[in-house]
Amino acid sequence: MWRLTWKRFRRSKLATFALIYVAIMTLIALFAPLFHLDPNVIDLSSRFLPPNDMHPLGTDELGRDILARMIHGARVSLTVGFLATLISVVVGSFLGAIAGYYGRVADWIVSRLIEIVLCFPFLFLVLGIVALFRPSLATIMIALGLTTWTNEARYIRGEFLRIREVEFAQAARASGARDARIIFRHLLPNAIAPVLVSASFGVAWAILTESALSFLGLGVPLPTASWGSILADAKSQIDYAWWLILFPGLAIFTTVAAFNVIGERFRDALDPRSE
């Protein structure tokens, strides 16, 4: 199935390009220290320089190199995106599997928990968690992961309700397999596809939310660079330092758009009816 899905996925040149773009950005983020660019070096003699040979993306109000801050900001944004989504997938898949497999009381409890989380506006809930604890990279990842698991839980629950009585599940029970083995060895691998599609959109949403939190001053503490904090620093200089808005804004837009394109194409590739 996965080979066929990959074959269908590659038919879209836009999705393939988006995947290559995400891979390049991930490599840049992983190997940022190897570039030997310090994002926090202050040079007041180089304040507000437009893009030039020494500073390809210009400098900010403290003379800091925007290229260095963008590269290290990619580490923050992608780390938050991937790890927050991982937390969301793990929590949502576990609770959804329990609800879908056991049903009855377990299903009722998980369903009510999902409804409680969905009652709160997402951004206000995240803001409340971040404001309650000290803003940090870990706090943001945990806050995003613990407030976005509901979609994954509903997808897994629905898939488990569909496949828990099919032949291979009944055969596993008849062979004496324990519930944990049936859930994680037999059912979950056959129910994970919708979650992977949701995870791609979830990474994009986490990156966008982290940028919004940093823009509001509740993101990663300064002087750590992130795309949102670069935008926040530039909001009062937009009239005469256009590069401070353009480059981080373009990075956020293209990265979020790439993950959305990948998610949409992955969803179509998993659905034979779309071909």
Q: Residue 36: helix, strand or coil by DSSP? A: coil
The Cα 208–Cα 256 span in angstroms is: 7
Average pLDDT over residues 237-243: 79
Q: How confident is the model at residue 253 (pLDDT cuts 50, 70, 90)?
A: very high
Q: Helices 137-145 and 66-102 meet at what angle, rounded to 10?
A: 30
Give me the number of domains the chain comprises: 1
The answer to whether position 31 is within a domain reads no
pLDDT at 275 over 70: no
Q: What pLDDT does 20 receive?
A: 93
Beta bridge partners of 10: none
| Token pair recorded at residue 244 | 């401070």
Q: How confident is the model at residue 47 (pLDDT cuts 50, 70, 90)?
A: confident
The answer to whether position 45 is within a domain reads no
Residue bearing tokens 């260095």: 68
The answer to whether position 48 is within a domain reads no
| Token pair recorded at residue 45 | 């003699």
The Cα 194–Cα 171 span in angstroms is: 24
Nearest in space to 125 (alpha carbons), one of 112, 144, 108, 150: 144
The answer to whether position 3 is within a domain reads no
Query: What does the DSSP 8-state code read for residue 183?
Result: I
Nearest in space to 49 (alpha carbons), one of 35, 33, 61, 34: 61
Q: How confident is the model at residue 1 (pLDDT cuts 50, 70, 90)?
A: low
The Cα 174–Cα 165 span in angstroms is: 12
Q: Could you tell me where the DSSP H helices lie in the chain?
A: 2-9, 13-30, 66-102, 104-119, 122-132, 137-145, 150-163, 167-174, 179-181, 188-191, 193-215, 227-234, 243-270
CB of 125 within 8 A of CB of 116?
no
Domain limits for position 258: 60-270
Q: What pLDDT does 73 receive?
A: 87
Q: How confident is the model at residue 256 (pLDDT cuts 50, 70, 90)?
A: very high
The answer to whether position 49 is within a domain reads no
The Cα 34–Cα 257 span in angstroms is: 27
The answer to whether position 36 is within a domain reads no
The answer to whether position 20 is within a domain reads no
What is the pTM (predicted TM-score) of this model? 0.85
Query: If 0-12 CB within 10 Å is exposed, 13-18 middle and 19+ buried, where does residue 241 land?
Result: buried
Q: Which tens digit of pLDDT belongs to each residue from 214-233?
A: 887 777 777 778 888 888 87
Q: What pLDDT does 272 receive?
A: 57
The Cα 50–Cα 244 span in angstroms is: 9
Q: What pLDDT does 90 receive?
A: 92
CB of 102 within 8 A of CB of 111?
no
Residues of the chain with pLDDT > 90, as a percent, come to 13
CATH of the domain at 75: 1.10.3720.10
The identity of residue 31, as a single letter, is F
Residue bearing tokens 């060895």: 185
Query: If 0-12 CB within 10 Å is exposed, 13-18 middle and 19+ buried, where does residue 134 land?
Result: exposed
The answer to whether position 21 is within a domain reads no
Q: Which tens digit of pLDDT belongs to each residue from 133-174?
A: 877 788 888 888 888 888 889 988 888 888 877 887 788 778
As a whole number of angstroms, the longest Cα–Cα distance in the chain is 76
Q: Which tens digit of pLDDT belongs to each residue from 167-200?
A: 877 887 788 778 888 888 888 888 887 888 888 8
Q: What pLDDT does 17 receive?
A: 92
Question: What average pLDDT does the structure give for the chain?
Answer: 84
Average pLDDT over residues 113-123: 85
Q: What pLDDT does 22 receive?
A: 92
Q: How confident is the model at residue 27 (pLDDT cuts 50, 70, 90)?
A: very high
Question: Comparing 24-33, 154-163, 236-245, which segment has the lowest mean pLDDT?
Answer: 236-245
